[in-house]
Amino acid sequence: MDLNISGSGHITPGEYDTIRISGSGQLGDAVRCKNLYVSGSANGSNVDCEKDFHISGSCGFSGKVSAGNIAISGGSSFGGDLEAKERVAVSGGMGCRGNVKCKQLQVSGNSKVSGDVEAELAKIRGALDCEGLLNAEEVDIEYEKGMEVGSIGGSKIVIYKRHGEAKKKKARLPLFASLIKRTTVGTVCVNNSIEGDEIALEGVVCPRVSGRVVAIGADCEIELVQYSEQVEVSPEAKVGRTERI
């Protein structure tokens, strides 16, 4: 059966066809449905949607949320895993304390994931802070304000600055530069490593980069670059050493 809430209401645990919330809705634990559409706010625990999970507004779920497609526009928080059979699209703000798993991940706002991110395609046009591993067949990141990631793995990894919007750098005295945090605005900081087949980086700070073909662009700070076939390092990058493997 379909369920429509206009205003505020409570949804008991059970199975539904399509749930529509226009206003405020409280979902009981273990709600299963074909579709969930929220225009306003929703709170709950575990939700399993066969097809669409769409939030336009705000939501907070303490457990696992799974669906065919997940679209989040506004501000949302998830205490467990976020899993989609196809796509997760975020425009706005999203926080997830678990893992994110899907085929396609699209982020055009700001997202923070405490666990790992696994996808076939990860296309970031905002900021994705990921404490664990960001792993995708193709990673495409265009950033402006910077990000922080534990590790990145994939086949093709491309990270670059948004053109025409970067502010001019100001000269800093050595002591001043040594006292500020390394993860400044406008930098993608990868705490452990970047490993892939084809890798192209711009404005990335990372201890180790390893791939078959590696291009290190301007404003990168890499301690060790490992490559098996070809490497290119910009004169505007800082690389400790390169190593053929």
Task: Average the pLDDT over 64-86 and give the result.
Answer: 96
Q: What's the CA gap between 163 and 20, in Å, rounded? A: 40
Task: Inform me whether the pLDDT recorded for 167 exceeds 90.
Answer: no
Q: Residue 170's pLDDT is what? A: 46
Q: Residue 210's pLDDT is what? A: 98
- 163 versus 218: which is more confidently predicted? 218
* Residue 99 CB neighbour total at 10 angstroms: 19
pLDDT per residue over 123-164, tens digit each?
Answer: 999 899 999 999 999 999 999 888 999 999 999 999 998 865
The answer to pTM > 0.85 is yes
Q: Residue 183's pLDDT is what? A: 43
Task: Average the pLDDT over 182-203 and give the result.
Answer: 85
Q: What's the CA gap between 191 and 145, in Å, rounded? A: 17
| CB-count exposure of residue 139 (10 Å: 0-12, 13-18, 19+) | buried
Mean pLDDT of the chain: 90
